[in-house]
Amino acid sequence: MKKIILSTVAIATMAIAGGDSSTMNHENSDATNSEIEALKQQMGAMQTKLSALENKEAPKAEGVLVKSNVPVINFSGTHYLGFVNSKDGNDDSTNRFETRRNYLQAKAYFEDNPKDYMRITLDTHNVDDGSATVGKDLDGTWNVRLKYAFLYLDDVLPNTGVELGQAHRPWIDYEEHGSWNYRSISKVMVEDDNAAHLTNSADIGVNFKTKTPYFSSELGLFNGEGYHNVEDGEALSGEWRLTGHLLATGKEKSKKSGTYANVSFFGQQNRLSNKHKNEDLNWMGVHAVYNQPEFLVAAQYVTVDEANAAYKGKGYSVNGEYRIAPKWNAIGRYDFFDMDDNSGEKKRAIAGITYAYNHNVEFIANYLKEGGSNLVTNNKDQDAIMLTAAVEW
């Protein structure tokens, strides 16, 4: 094999060098010499690769060879690592190290259209069931569960792509990438247990995603139970996000260094959900965010007009970020949710400092206060000091 390739290169070299030298001027001679040198370099590279393969060694400069039916596979990971000191209303204090999220993701891009791909995302989950299975107590065991598994096809309609499978639901991903950038320390208001606690970020279904400079949207139909609840097939959930981009940034990714102003209308019409006590869950909200390189401010209002009593109510959330120096940010957030059945309210406050260690690692130190009379944590106020390392690769 090596001799065949080297002979081919040598023949090509002689063919270039064997031109009519009587008509070749100095300029053409320089060009020919350059071509010969380039072929020599290619021949040397081929010889190195072949030698490595013959010796059963991977070429060090090229990395490990991977075979696939697609031209490009992109691997990435996200990790939220932390330590928490917390104290409840009875002055009971706890200290614990945490690994809150560990995402492993792969995207396989297709040859016919490089914007089409298949994505799979796995996440670790700490089991908290207190049950015994096959004689072993699984409480505290780390399991891996599926977060996303969807096919994305670009431009199936004008300016519109579609996710099909276990896909993004329309709201949470948008808020976490353009308004509240710190999922590592807190979920957004509509997801957090001690806030509105209405939905989560992924479900099995279809999501049409439209992007234009002044308008973007997501319109989806899903099972409605979320990615870690049982689906009984009795009803589906219609979900939406409609966003106006006042500064014509609708086709761009939201970045801290950019300037954008967006107003969104979002919500769900979720019928007969197991997750929500086998009752309908219909809610909607409005959200506004303004960002420029120096700071970000955002606010939203959410109302639940039809739901089980454990979910029905209304509330709001405000958050901000001030970039005090290169790599340093000050952040703050306040959530309030009032239950309609007079069972109480939920309040959360966050204040912290962030430091971008490098492109892959960000450190966060923050204070978290949770209070009210309808908390998941046994209706006890809680104060916590949190230290976090958010890692992306």
Structure tokens given for 225? 């139970």
The one-character DSSP state at 1 is -
Residue 134's pLDDT is: 45
Q: Please indicate, yes or no, if residue 300 is contained in any of the structural domains.
A: yes
Burial, 240: exposed, middle or buried (Cβ in 10 Å; 0-12, 13-18, 19+)? buried
Record the pTM.
0.80
Q: Please indicate, yes or no, if residue 311 is contained in any of the structural domains.
A: yes
Q: Please indicate, yes or no, if residue 61 is contained in any of the structural domains.
A: no
Give the model confidence (pLDDT) of 5-57 as tens digits. Answer: 444 444 444 444 444 444 444 444 455 566 656 655 665 665 565 455 445 44
Rg (CA), the chain: 28
Q: According to the per-residue pLDDT averaged within each range, which of 121-135, 142-156, 372-386 is highest?
A: 142-156
Q: Please indicate, yes or no, if residue 66 is contained in any of the structural domains.
A: no
**Does one domain contain both 172 and 227?**
yes
**Does one domain contain both 320 and 379?**
yes
Strands in 115-235 per DSSP E: 117-126, 132-133, 136-137, 142-157, 160-168, 202-211, 215-222
Neighbours of 239 (CB within 10 A): 23
**Does one domain contain both 182 and 217?**
yes
Q: Phi and psi for 242 in degrees, rounded to 5?
A: -125, 120
Residues of the chain with pLDDT > 70, as a percent, come to: 78
> What amino acid is encoded at 125 in this protein?
H
Helix (H, G, I), strand (E, B) or coil at 2: helix
Question: Across-strand partners of 386?
Answer: 84, 366
**Does one domain contain both 264 and 161?**
yes
d(CA 363, CA 67): 37
Average pLDDT, rounded, for the chain: 85
pLDDT at 282 over 90: yes
Mapped to the 3 state alphabet, what secondary structure does 93-120 carry? EEEEEEEEEEEEEEEEECCCCCCCEEEE
Residue 101's pLDDT is: 92
**Does one domain contain both 179 and 303?**
yes
Q: Please indicate, yes or no, if residue 336 is contained in any of the structural domains.
A: yes
Q: Scanning the structure block, which residue is given the tokens 């490098």?
A: 358
**Does one domain contain both 159 and 270?**
yes
**Does one domain contain both 168 and 29?**
no
Residues of the chain with pLDDT > 90, as a percent, come to: 65
Give the model confidence (pLDDT) of 50-86 as tens digits. Answer: 455 445 444 454 556 667 899 999 999 999 999 999 9
Residue 37's pLDDT is: 67
Burial, 168: exposed, middle or buried (Cβ in 10 Å; 0-12, 13-18, 19+)? buried
pLDDT at 264 over 50: yes
Residue 131's pLDDT is: 52
> What amino acid is encoded at 267 in this protein?
G
- Distance between alpha carbon 7 and the CA centroid of its chain, in Å? 50
Q: Are 368 and 348 in contact (CB under 8 A)?
A: yes
CATH number at residue 211: 2.40.160.10
- Structural domain that includes position 327: 75-392
From the list 300, 324, 325, the residue with the least C-alpha distance to 314 is 300
Q: Please indicate, yes or no, if residue 282 is contained in any of the structural domains.
A: yes
- Distance between alpha carbon 383 and the CA centroid of its chain, in Å? 28
**Does one domain contain both 188 and 118?**
yes
**Does one domain contain both 40 and 82?**
no
pLDDT mean over 220-245: 91
Q: How many CA atoms lie within 13 A of 293 on its CB side?
A: 4
Residue 12's pLDDT is: 45
**Does one domain contain both 47 and 103?**
no
pLDDT mean over 231-257: 93
Alpha-carbon torsion 240, 245, 249, 253, what sign? negative
Q: Please indicate, yes or no, if residue 67 is contained in any of the structural domains.
A: no
Dihedral class, residue 74 (left if φ above 0, else alpha if ψ from -120 to 50, else beta): beta
Give the model confidence (pLDDT) of 95-137 as tens digits. Answer: 999 999 999 999 999 999 999 999 999 999 887 655 545 446 6
**Does one domain contain both 96 and 16?**
no
pLDDT mean over 353-363: 98
Total domains in the chain come to 2
**Does one domain contain both 120 and 228?**
yes
Q: Please indicate, yes or no, if residue 68 is contained in any of the structural domains.
A: no
Residue 287's pLDDT is: 98
